[in-house]
């Protein structure tokens, strides 16, 4: 769900007269459209749990309609049916050799002003997070100690699920929603991570695109190539080629 899709849908409804000539506002028109997209996804998928990621930074004007929508969702579907996870960064100051929690505190305070109290805070960091730092975040952000979860930078993104499982994030979610969970078996996932780290014979592949300077634009394509290579016990040596640099015949 993108902002462009939401604005386009609301404008189209206004042109059809769905709002009976009323003034279009962020609340309730945009937020209602956003929530309808979420609810339609849940109904079509018939999933017990859906995960909604709101990108960007807390406080950005572009994300405010989405944050307001997920705030309203807690009242719409019941407080016991919504679980807020806030991902935050702990910057490291090399001069004092410490991780700073102030950005996290301010971010959570901003969310709380909007009416959102995080249930879990995932703390991103390039360095190990001391227990005292977790205690401090728990105290100032009003989150349970076990719900302040360190998320250290790792060599592969596929290690993250194992870290979260070790920190019992899944159990926190299961307890919140009162779900019946089966014993977790990540042995195959562990095998995948081990294979990713193992030295494999490389295969060179050229990826031609217009926006190669922003490689995240082709993130899904890149990951698909990595998955295919791993399936064949190979690694990928990806060569980025700007299509505008190619000579025209």
pLDDT in tens, 159-188: 999 999 999 999 999 999 999 888 888 999
CA atoms within 13 A on the CB side of 158: 15
What SS3 state is found at 201? strand
Task: Name the token pair of 216.
Answer: 């995240």
Averaged confidence pLDDT in the chain: 92
pLDDT tens digits, one per residue of 48-62: 899 999 999 998 999
Q: pLDDT confidence of 1, banded at 50, 70, 90?
A: confident
Alpha-carbon dihedral sign for residues 77, 79, 81, 84:
positive
pLDDT tens digits, one per residue of 92-138: 999 989 999 999 999 999 999 999 999 999 999 999 999 999 999 99
Alpha helices in 17-62 (DSSP H): 31-45
What SS3 state is found at 115? coil
- What proportion of the chain, given as a percentage, has pLDDT over 90? 75
pLDDT value of residue 199: 83
Nearest to 108 by CA among 149, 145, 148, 142: 142
| Mean pLDDT score, 143-151 | 96
Q: Which residues contact 49 (CB under 8 A, 6 or more apart)?
A: 173, 177, 179
pLDDT value of residue 183: 86
| Mean pLDDT score, 191-208 | 90
Q: pLDDT confidence of 21, banded at 50, 70, 90?
A: confident
Is the pLDDT confidence value at 198 over 60?
yes
The Cα–Cα gap between 71 and 189 comes to 34
The full length of the chain comes to 249
Q: Which residues contact 20 (CB under 8 A, 6 or more apart)?
A: none
Is the pLDDT confidence value at 33 over 60?
yes
The Cα–Cα gap between 80 and 235 comes to 44
Q: How many CB atoms lie within 10 A of CB 88?
A: 23
- State the residue for tokens 């989405």: 66
Q: pLDDT confidence of 248, banded at 50, 70, 90?
A: low
pLDDT value of residue 139: 97
* H helix or E strand, kind and range, residue 202: strand 201-209
Q: Which residues contact 91 (CB under 8 A, 6 or more apart)?
A: 99, 100, 103
Q: Which residues contact 148 (CB under 8 A, 6 or more apart)?
A: 120, 121, 123, 134, 137, 138, 141
Domain boundaries, the chain: 1-81, 199-249
Q: How many CB atoms lie within 10 A of CB 204?
A: 8
Is the pLDDT confidence value at 249 over 60?
no
């Amino acid at each position: 769900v993108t902002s462009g899709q939401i604005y386009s849908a609301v404008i189209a409804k206004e042109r059809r007269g769905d709002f009976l000539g009323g003034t279009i506002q962020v609340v309730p028109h945009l937020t209602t459209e956003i929530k309808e997209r979420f609810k339609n996804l849940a109904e079509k998928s018939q999933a017990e749990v859906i995960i909604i990621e709101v990108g960007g930074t807390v406080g950005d004007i572009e994300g405010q309609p989405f944050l307001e929508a997920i705030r309203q969702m807690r009242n719409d579907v019941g407080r016991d049916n919504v679980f807020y996870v806030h991902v935050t960064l702990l910057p490291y100051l090399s001069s004092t050799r410490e991780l700073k929690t102030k950005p996290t505190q301010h971010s959570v305070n901003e969310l709380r002003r909007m009416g959102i109290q995080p249930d879990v805070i995932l703390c991103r960091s390039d360095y190990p997070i001391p227990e005292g730092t977790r205690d401090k975040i728990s105290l100032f952000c009003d989150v349970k100690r076990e719900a302040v979860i360190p998320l250290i930078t790792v060599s592969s993104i596929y290690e993250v699920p194992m870290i979260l499982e070790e920190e019992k994030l899944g159990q926190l979610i299961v307890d919140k929603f009162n779900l019946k969970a089966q014993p977790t078996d990540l042995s195959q996932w562990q095998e995948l991570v081990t294979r990713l780290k193992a030295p494999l014979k490389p295969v060179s592949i050229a990826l031609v695109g217009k926006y190669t300077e922003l490689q995240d634009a082709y993130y899904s394509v890149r990951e698909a190539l990595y998955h295919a290579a791993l399936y064949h016990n190979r690694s990928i040596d990806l060569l980025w080629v700007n299509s505008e640099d190619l000579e025209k015949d």
